[in-house]
Amino acid sequence: MNLLPLGNDILTNNEVTNITKIGFWVLINGREYFIPFKEFPIFRKATIEQILEIKLLSPNQLYWESLDCDIELESLEKPHFFPLMFQ
């Protein structure tokens, strides 16, 4: 019996799961994070396409190339350790 080769993996390690008027949620390695537009205003005027082009540069760093924006996951997990607002 011959088995067909496996196809492409349809699961990704990072994706945007929801966008609302107050922010958006990203799923990174099975954990969901909320990115509020109030704290990250660069995303307010971004297109949906720009928001969806999220990349994981390292296990702890998200990056949006067309916006030239990166966010450390720790700043989303523990915002009280990062009191400065994103400009």
pLDDT tens digits, one per residue of 23-43: 999 999 899 999 999 999 999
Helix (H, G, I), strand (E, B) or coil at 72: strand
The answer to whether residue 23 is domain-embedded is: yes
Q: Domain containing 74 — which CATH number?
A: 3.30.2020.40
Contact 39, 85 (CB under 8 A): yes
The answer to whether residue 87 is domain-embedded is: no
Report the domain count for the chain. Answer: 1
The answer to whether residue 50 is domain-embedded is: yes
Q: Which pLDDT value is given to residue 85?
A: 58
Contact 47, 58 (CB under 8 A): no
Q: Which tokens belong to 55?
A: 């990349």
Element (H, E) at 52: helix 48-52
Q: Is the pLDDT of residue 71 over 90?
A: yes
Helix (H, G, I), strand (E, B) or coil at 41: helix
Q: Tell me the pTM.
A: 0.77
Range of the domain at 53: 14-81
| Mean pLDDT, range 43-69, rounded to an integer | 94
